[in-house]
Amino acid sequence: MEKQKILIIIAAILLLAGIFSLSFYKNQSLTTFAILDNKHYTTAICNDTNYCRDYEIVCVNKTIVSITPITGGVQYPLDWNDSRDKANMTNVCE
């Protein structure tokens, strides 16, 4: 009778460990899928006085999740025009 209790306890522990392992594995695969869906961009954003700063833009599932400054700012003259193509911030994640 004592051996049966021990075997039942061991079986229950193994079952719970298996369920936990599968749950952890499933979450890892979902995390990996989300990482594959991430996009990172860098762009300069300037205000109306031509003070510009570089930013990292992180998109997940076509939604901006963070905009982080990555450099200090630069003040350009008021008559300066940026000759680079400007990203449309509403479509940057697509």
Tokens of 46: 């300037």
Q: Phi and psi at residue 78, in whole multiples of 5°?
A: -60, -30
Q: Is the dihedral of CA 13, 15, 19, 25 positive or negative?
A: positive
pTM of structure:
0.49
User: What's the residue count for the chain?
Assistant: 94
* Residue 75's pLDDT band (cuts 50, 70, 90): very high
Question: Quick one: what percent of the chain has pLDDT higher than 70?
Answer: 69
Delimit the domains of the chain by residue range.
1-36, 38-94
Q: What are phi and psi of 8, to 5 degrees?
A: -65, -40
Tell me which of 80 and 31 has the higher pLDDT: 80
- pLDDT of res. 91: 66
Q: What is the mean pLDDT of the chain?
A: 75
88 three-state secondary structure: coil
Return the pLDDT at 63. 82
Confidence tier at 30 by pLDDT (50, 70, 90): very low
Q: Residue 27 and residue 37: Cα distance in Å, rounded? A: 15
